[in-house]
Amino acid sequence: MLFASPVIFSQIWRFVAPGLYGHEKRVLIPFSLLSSSCFIGGAAFGYFVVFPPAFKFLVGYNNEFLTSLPAVSEYFTLATRLLLAFGVIFEMPIFMVFLAKTGLIDVAFLNRNRKYSILVNFILAAILTPTPDVVNQVMMAVPLMALYEIGVVAVWLFARKGFVDFSKSPADNEKISE
């Protein structure tokens, strides 16, 4: 899936591009490149940092009477779930900038609701983590909180001028941001 993502995104781009204005294409290309790199970076983080302790937990019930022999399907299921979960959560800053550009959120809103984001991050980590141990849940919640803070900074940097109405021309959006 990771190796096929450039082809998939290329096909989606070829389908969507004819219906976009020039200013929308200029925004969409960096957005899709950044989104792809965040997804792949999140999947790599999940595989190299979180997967070893998760797999250790999966086979951690070994003792002198019981030996755990996980099937290949269990291994791939755990790896796939972790890769997809971490790939998706690493998209959070991009999603936050998108919401800010559309006018749904701003930096003041994000700062005001930080305590709720911490709670939601831990709930999401508990739901998305494929193994029920606390270590893996914390290993997902801490990056979620860091990504939230990165998203706040990204919203502050990239969405300061006000919201962008994607149905209007660039000249109309300039009037809105003033």
Q: How far apart are CA 155 and CA 170, in angstroms?
A: 20
Work out the average pLDDT over 47-66: 76
| Burial of residue 79, with CB atoms counted within 10 A of its CB: 0-12 exposed, 13-18 middle, 19 or more buried | middle
Of 22 and 86, which is predicted with more confidence? 86
Instruction: State residue 147's pLDDT score.
Output: 94
Report d(CA 87, CA 19) in Å as an integer.
28
Q: Which residue type sits at 91?
A: E
Query: What pTM was computed for the model?
Result: 0.72
Residue 18 inside a domain? The answer is: yes
Residue 145 has a pLDDT of 94
CB 39 within 8 A of CB 85: no
**168 falls within a domain:** no
More confident: 102 or 130: 102
Whether residue 50 lies inside any domain: the answer is yes
| pLDDT tens sequence across 15-52 | 877 887 877 777 777 877 888 888 889 989 988 988 88
**Above pLDDT 90, what percent of the chain?**
22
Number of domains the chain is built from: 1
What is the structure's pLDDT at 160? 64
The whole domain housing 41 covers 6-161
